[in-house]
Amino acid sequence: MSEHLGARGIAHIVLERDRIAERWRTERWDSLVANGPAWHDRFPSLEFDGSPDAFAPKEQVAEYFERYAEQIGAPIRCGVEVTSVRKHEGEPGYRVETTAGSIHARYVVAATGAFQLPAIPPIVPADTGLTQLHSSGYRNPQQLPEGGVLVVGAGSSGVQIAAELRQAGREVTLAVGPHDRPPQRYRGRNFVWWLGVLGKWDAAAPPEGAEHVTIAVSGANGGHTVDFRDLADSGITLVGRANSFANGVMAFGSDLKENIRLGDENYLSLLAEADAYIAREGLDLPEEPEAHLLGAYPTSATDPCCRWILPPPASPRSCGLQDSTWTTAGYKSIRLMIAGDRCTSAGCLPFPGSTSWVTLAVAPRIDVYLGCLARREAPRRSDRDSTRVSGV
């Protein structure tokens, strides 16, 4: 916006309470890279250094924003927080209060970001003695205490963090809600290219009758298609949506298989649309029949678990949870997908013997809810029996 205003000679200032690209500096995990390739995830007037097909690490993204601000000569005042904006009485314009004084402005553009107000759904009460960690506070596996991890939410953040934790040797359970999962590449083109030529980026709203769902993509390790079969093969246990927590029992929906099925449907429909586009436009792009072949559903989808039993909150010390903290966050602008189905299966997750703590977190990105749960002792029969499943 500043580039366009500047190009038209319109006087303006940009106020930033921290530093340029602050979110990319302090609200992202260490290994995060852009989900789209550098040729795409950029402004028209500035390219990233390096290969256009690479996925820029978060530090490079922050540097890129700085370079871009310099290039366009953006009149940015860093370290100035806007505390209120009030319309003038009886005259045009606004009175903007900031930590550096008042400003009178004819027009105000609020560009404070879509992911700025963390909000954790009230699934696990604050007095459980369990730790909750928001994904904006997640940095790396070493940051987490020892033990198994439950990642709730399988959008881009959730699947990437789950994979990273699993790679680091953690016992990981991933709660999977509805999602879209476009192929990272198909017939020689990246998914961002396909979403562009197929008009998906321009969609003002989801197609009629369709709910907005999260998108699971990943630029990690050079970029790859998110397939929940691969995540299951890597040793991650998949469960349905995290529904409720009561009496030390985390209850999951019975929707895992359906969510995977719908994700597959979304994936295959994009391939079909891409094929039709290629035929229509007469493009010479290599065929990729193997991309249409999906494996069998993971066992966790055909034989689902619906509850994860935790030590009773009344006796956290005896269960090794005394060191846990419960810090949660989420994003209020995000419609959380935690709600829904009653659990129909009576299955329960086996607990790895070494697990000893509990974390639950909400990931900011696109309807994601991330969390970690673990326990040291085997679940008791009475815990299982006390399961109460309720929508949140």
Ligand X SMILES: Cc1cc2nc3c(=O)[nH]c(=O)nc-3n(C[C@H](O)[C@H](O)[C@H](O)COP(=O)(O)OP(=O)(O)OC[C@H]3O[C@@H](n4cnc5c(N)ncnc54)[C@H](O)[C@@H]3O)c2cc1C
Q: Which residues bind ligand X (CB under 6 A)?
A: 15-18, 22-23, 28, 32, 34-36, 41, 81-82, 111-113, 115-116, 157, 364-365
The residue among 163 and 250 lying less far from ligand X, judged by its C-beta, is: 163
How far is residue 326's CA from residue 316's CA, in Å, rounded to a whole number?
Answer: 13
Question: 247 and 388 in contact (C-beta within 8 Å)?
Answer: yes
Closest approach, Cβ 277 to ligand X, in A, equals: 23
How far is residue 273's CA from residue 194's CA, in Å, rounded to a whole number?
Answer: 9
How far is residue 195's CA from residue 189's CA, in Å, rounded to a whole number?
Answer: 10
Closest approach, Cβ 151 to ligand X, in A, equals: 13
The residue among 331 and 357 lying less far from ligand X, judged by its C-beta, is: 331
Q: Which of 368, 334, 374 is nearest to 351 (CA)?
A: 374
The residue among 40 and 229 lying less far from ligand X, judged by its C-beta, is: 40
The residue among 36 and 153 lying less far from ligand X, judged by its C-beta, is: 36
Name 78's bridge partners. 16
Closest approach, Cβ 35 to ligand X, in A, equals: 4
**How far lies 78's CA from each of 75, 176, 185, in Å?**
10, 39, 39
122 CB-near residues (< 8 Å, 6+ apart): 392
Closest approach, Cβ 366 to ligand X, in A, equals: 8
How far is residue 172's CA from residue 228's CA, in Å, rounded to a whole number?
Answer: 13
Closest approach, Cβ 50 to ligand X, in A, equals: 15
Closest approach, Cβ 56 to ligand X, in A, equals: 8
DSSP secondary structure, 149-210, as one string: EEEE--SHHHHHHHHHHHHTT--EEEE--SEE---SEETTEEHHHHHHHTT-TT-SSPPTTP
Q: What is the DSSP letter of 96?
A: E
Give the residue nearest to ligand X (CB): 113
The residue among 153 and 178 lying less far from ligand X, judged by its C-beta, is: 153
The residue among 18 and 146 lying less far from ligand X, judged by its C-beta, is: 18
